[in-house]
Amino acid sequence: MHETSIAMGLLQSLDELAEKEKAKKITKVRVRIGKLSGIVVDSFAFAFDAIKAEYPKIASAKLEIEEVPVEYECLDCGKVFEVESVYFPECPDCGSLNVKLLRGEELEVIDVEIEV
């Protein structure tokens, strides 16, 4: 389950941030995860909550996850559209398979709230 290693990496980075900023604790972390990122959101959240106790300054932090839908742009007609299935996405307007991925692969920290 690679979600655990990703959560561990995030927690280590947050711990370093807390030290650098001389924070008493981190109270909230907001992340953005795309549906094509390969990360199972529930597993990631579970791993984060299970491991955060090992980091005193993060132990009470709340994790908020924003899931990003898969969005494409049709390179033939210009239509921007979201899809549920990622296999051979087809433009809903013209039926073209000539599409470009715009969103959905994200894995990023949006913001971190710290208490100093």
Q: Judge whether 50 is annotated as a binding position.
A: no
Cβ-proximal residues to 16 (8 Å cutoff; 6+ apart), any chain = none
Residue-wise burial string across 10-19, b where 16 or more C-beta atoms lie within 10 A, e elsewhere: bbeebbebbe
Q: Judge whether 84 is annotated as a binding position.
A: no
- Other C-beta atoms lying within 10 Å of the C-beta of residue 7: 23
Q: Judge whether 94 is annotated as a binding position.
A: yes
Q: Judge whether 91 is annotated as a binding position.
A: yes
Q: Judge whether 74 is annotated as a binding position.
A: yes
Label residue 105 left, alpha or beta by phi (over 0 means left) and psi (-120 to 50 means alpha). alpha
Cβ-proximal residues to 37 (8 Å cutoff; 6+ apart), any chain = 104, 105, 106, 107
List, as residue ranges, the binding site: 2, 74, 77, 91, 94
List, as residue ranges, the binding site for Ni(2+): 2
List, as residue ranges, the binding site for Zn(2+): 74, 77, 91, 94
